[in-house]
A and B are shown apart, each in its own frame.
Chain A
């Protein structure tokens, strides 16, 4: 069975600085998708960025980028130029290419200091 592990329950970053959130996963499949979702306090969960496993190039969305290491089964999220609005729970998630179920990690709470 696939699992997703986020080993950092909480992280803190100074405004305008860069922070990296860690995620590892376990799977025996070769074709899958990885996601990072953001859930602000009392607000909707939104998709931040995604990565297709068959692509070697790391995905980037504005200030958000990933470091995808397929062999190591690692999928970290880097947030550059952190803003107060980045404060939220961040969930790493996995879905196999042919599957219907998305598996979520336990989340990392990010605090942004002014």
Chain B
């Protein structure tokens, strides 16, 4: 367990519905990332936050996607009007160092697997 949690772990929805995922990062880390991972591929960067500020968004993040981190702690990723192509694993990563380890790295949550029918 890396200390990063995500909810829900699985989500099945019908095309056109909205879904929202939550990520709780390691509390001392001020950077938070969202990635999308499809089967057999590495994670693809979606967006990242420095505290509550969203500093970068990938071109993969269409206007149906929105992410927030209102208090600089947990973050939510919402997908509106879901499409079958949105089916993927959505990973959250907390970025920083851990006690006794000075080098910062990304620590991933377990992911939310989305299936759009």
Contact = CB atoms under 8 A, between A and B. Distances in A.
Interface of A: 4, 33, 35, 37, 43-47, 50, 52, 91, 93, 100-107
Contacts of A44: 1-2, 108-111
B2 A104 contact: no
Nearest to B6: A44
Contacts of B105: 33, 35, 47, 50
Contacts of A47: 105-107
Chain A contact residues, majority secondary structure: strand
Measured as residues with beta carbon below 8 angstroms from the partner, the interface class of chain B is: 20 to 34
Contacts of B110: 43-44
A50 B31 contact: no
7 contacts: A37-B108, A44-B1, A46-B2, A47-B107, A50-B103, A50-B105, A106-B42
Contact of B106 (A52, A102, A105, A107): A102
B109 A104 contact: no
Given A44-B109, A47-B106, A107-B40, A101 B45 contact: yes
Contacts of A100: 31, 48, 50, 55-56
Given A33-B103, A45-B108, A47-B105, A104 B1 contact: no
A36 B111 CA distance: 18
